[in-house]
Structure 1
Amino acid sequence: MESRFEEEGEAAAAPEVTTTEPSLADKEAAYEKFVWDNLKRNYVGHYLHGMLGMTGFRLINAPTFLPAYLHLLSGSNFVVGLGLALQQLGGVISPIVGANQIEHRTKVMPAAIWMGGLARLQIIGMALAGWFLSGQSRVVAIIGFMFLFGLFMGTQRVVFSMLLAKVIPISRRGRLQAWRNATGGLIAAGLAYLAGRYFIDANLFGNGYSTTFLFAFFLTSLGLTALRLLMIEPEPPTVRAQMRLRDRMKEFPALLADRGFLFFMVVQMLAISGRMAVPFYVIYAASSIELSGKNLGLLSLAYLGADTVSNLLWGYLGDKTGFRLIMLVSLVLWVASTVLLMNAHDFLPIFLAFAGLGASQSGYMMSAGTMILEFGDRDEMPMRIALSSTAEGIMASAGPLIGGLISASLGYGVLFSLSIAFLLAGLIVLLLLVKEPRTARMAPP
């Protein structure tokens, strides 16, 4: 009995063991440590994914192969504009839905694999349509696959931007994008020339354009595989509670209360409106030079090669100064290159204009894609990216269709002049109403 009472007394006297939940600051510190501890592996994964993915997607999205192919099949500027408008329309529909599906998840890699894989399947669809269909059915099928490509790319943009923000520190994002875009662009520029010269001119495997699209599919798939094998995704300290899409949309005004973010979206919409002329650059060039496979490859080389070289400048400069400056310079270069193209009648100035357009487009895309990650709170990032993508997509979907109508009815001069007006308006808003988000966030309240 004494032994029993002694045991009970010792148990009562023993200190109570409690577990303390780590504070939010401790969780943030652990998250930050995870990011830096795994930076090398995640950096390599994102580099390979971006390099190979950009290589393939640039062959699809460059304003040369796909617009030229649609024009070859249909003979209509309107059909070119319609196809590209539907591709952009797909990107309008999906980002907000995609963001709503991932912003409450601690791991988003599974969604990235699904959305990335489905986007790549549409490239295969375009290639197969070129080989196995003919006439109007081929045009309709390719435009359909373009719409689905845009649909899945809209969600992919949200998911992959979120992955980049989770594992790459803000001070390293510019140089990562610089090197992945530069090497991917270098490969794409060389492949664009080879595709024009040896795939399209030679009508390789019965359809040089389909062969080009198939090659793009393999490259983008290799990039996605590399990211899946290499990336280690952390779980953030906090995530938003899951909400119905309808309820989440009621919170959009609060996101837009950030004036910097709001006017940044205005700049995006104006700049993307200026892109209405992009699909018609190469068609306009055909009025001054022969658009042979060789020349098409050289213009693609100019566009993608300048994209490649300038990315190194944009990335390193953006890491040092923030990306507002990059967007400013890109818009100015975009306007100047469009003016040069409007007044060019020989191959050399047209080549230089395409080089300027490639450099300006790469600077704009890098700055827009990186600045959006630097506004506001981390938990709101997926929906901010989605709103930005949707705003861009609304203008991008209407732009090519309107551009096709304007070029067909009023001519390329009016189309290019209207594009310049939108770009100048975006430049003014950026100068006057959008501060560099990196320094604005660090400034004391």
Structure 2
Amino acid sequence: MTSEDQEREFKRLEVFAYKNLKKNSIISIADGAIFAIGSGMLPVSTVIVYFISHYVHSNTLIGLLTTLNVLLSNSPQILVAKKLEMLDSYKEYFIKVALLMRLMWFLLAIDVFVFATTNELLFVILFYLIFSLQGFFASFANITWFNLILKLVPERQRSKFFGIRSSIGGLCETFGAFLMGRILRLLHFPYNYGLLFLISFLIMMISLYIASMMIEMSIKKPKKEVDNKHYFRNMFLILKEDRNFTYYLLSVLFIGALGKMPFGFQTIFAKNSLSISTQHVAIATTILLFSQTIGYMLWGIIGSKYGFKSTLLISALMFLPAIYFTYLMSSISVYYLSVALFGIAQSARNVNESNMAAKLCKDPLKQPSYIGLRNFLMGPFFAFNSIIAGGIIDTLGKNILFLISFSCMVLGFFILCFLVRED
């Protein structure tokens, strides 16, 4: 397949994407809204952790559950990148892996109903196994879905699309959290959680059915068989040959991981300094969801006008006062302010971090490799972020954590601002 043939395919795809943009956008936004209701019922850091703490009393093992889920939701994406580069269309494969991801919630419901009261050891083992598999299949589904969206939504429309989709998703996620509270009152523990997993599974299946309605055009790709050893070697050569992308990854490391270390302890710091109640935590959660929803709309507008990099730079600057107020924690109002600033700043990264990675890739056929490599390398830092922060607090103290975090955020900002180029 010649370069001229590829160019014609990309032009044909662009015409198709604009022709079907409205329909595919509406379908994807509806899919995201329904999925957000289901996922909003199952926040890992609160509902899942609270539930498993009734059976597991080791803080290390409880932390391991969330760490494994984050790690497996990111790093394995590198395993499917090669397959995606060879596929002429993504939707069929996405439906398969997204179905497997959703089925894990159904299996967790079965695990609760069958073993939670009869065999607690087997229940916990199965829970950790199934929940880890949920993260694993989610990694495959996420990278496939994102590459499908890159194909269906033209670059100039993506920031606006993700902004609208994420804003509506944020509101629906809040509604899902409201439903979760109602569902947990319907049955006695632990069966109320089994019911919660089951209902969430059914809601997510509706979202998958809606997603299957998207219209995708197959494009011809060069069929070059490359063994796994050479493929992964070539993938890591990206770091050496594409310095722009390497600098971008460094900015993600310093801003998106190390710079954000204190935020995992916002509520803990507020509890220790201000003796906050569960009502204060509930208000802070609402502020976080609301500020992220506002942020999604804001960054969608800015990103579509000024590019993805501008949103990430402004976001990094907003993290700095959020870090300061988290350190200060002198009143409930300061606690709420730190949460709001974090929510707005983080929403920019939620919307445009992967978009930026895809845009830095000059060859559209290599986008799965770029995204998979980014998540493979950054996944461990995202997963162990809280553990690293906790270790710094325990050994060096809280002040050192904030000093390291603030310094990393500033360093990441300068790397992104002066070393990363966005066309």
TM-score band, normalised by shorter chain: 0.7 to 0.9
Q: How much does 1:214 deviate?
A: 4.4
Q: Is the 8 A contact 1:338 1:416 kept in 2?
A: yes
Q: Is the 8 A contact 1:77 1:404 kept in 2?
A: no
Amino acid at match of 2:363: D
Q: Whose Rg is larger?
A: 1
Q: 1:49 to 1:410 in 2, by over 3 A?
A: farther
Counterpart of 2:288 in structure 1 is: 303
Is 1:220 the counterpart of 2:204? The answer is yes
Identity among equivalent pairs (%): 22
User: 2:364 and 2:217 mapped to 1: Cα distance?
Assistant: 14
Q: 1:61 to 1:248 in 2, by over 3 A?
A: farther
Per the normalisation by structure 1, the TM-score is 0.82
User: 2:313 and 2:72 mapped to 1: Cα distance?
Assistant: 28
Is 1:386 the counterpart of 2:376? The answer is no
Is 1:105 the counterpart of 2:91? The answer is no
> Please, which runs of 5 or more residues in structure 1 have no aligned partner?
1-21, 441-445
User: 2:330 and 2:161 mapped to 1: Cα distance?
Assistant: 38
Counterpart of 1:342 in structure 2 is: 327
User: 1:139 and 1:278 mapped to 2: Cα distance?
Assistant: 29
Q: Which moved more, 1:115-124 or 1:342-351?
A: 342-351
What pairs up with 1:149-188 in 2 under 5 angstroms? 149-188=134-173
Secondary structure class of the residue paired with 2:89:
coil
From 17, 21, 29, the counterpart of 1:39: 21
From 412, 415, 419, the counterpart of 1:429: 415
Per the normalisation by structure 2, the TM-score is 0.85
Amino acid at match of 1:104: M
Secondary structure class of the residue paired with 1:251:
helix
Amino acid at match of 2:68: L
What pairs up with 1:36-435 in 2 under 5 angstroms? 36-60=18-42, 63-69=45-51, 74=56, 77-127=59-109, 132-133=115-116, 140-193=125-178, 195=180, 198=182, 202=185, 205-207=188-190, 212-228=196-212, 230-239=213-222, 241-256=224-239, 257-270=241-254, 271-287=256-272, 288-292=274-278, 294-344=279-329, 346-375=331-360, 376-407=362-393, 414-435=400-421
* 1:166-222 CA-partner distances (Å, limit 9, x unpaired): 1101111111111111111012124335545x456x585424655555454344332
Q: 1:247 to 1:83 in 2, by over 3 A?
A: same
Q: How much does 1:82 deviate?
A: 2.0
Q: 1:25 to 1:428 in 2, by over 3 A?
A: closer
Amino acid at match of 1:32: E
User: 1:383 and 1:47 mapped to 2: Cα distance?
Assistant: 26
Q: How much does 1:23 deviate?
A: 4.8
User: 1:300 and 1:192 mapped to 2: Cα distance?
Assistant: 10
The Cα RMSD (Å) is: 3.0
Q: How much does 1:352 deviate?
A: 2.8
Q: How much does 1:355 deviate?
A: 2.3
User: 1:349 and 1:57 mapped to 2: Cα distance?
Assistant: 29
Q: How much does 1:55 deviate?
A: 4.0
Secondary structure class of the residue paired with 2:301:
helix
Amino acid at match of 1:232: I
Q: 1:25 to 1:360 in 2, by over 3 A?
A: closer
* 1:5-58 CA-partner distances (Å, limit 9, x unpaired): xxxxxxxxxxxxxxxxx9555433322222222222211222122223344335
Amino acid at match of 2:85: E
Q: 1:102 to 1:28 in 2, by over 3 A?
A: closer
> Please, which runs of 5 or more residues in structure 2 have no aligned partner?
none
Q: Is the 8 A contact 2:33 2:169 kept in 1?
A: yes
Amino acid at match of 1:175: K
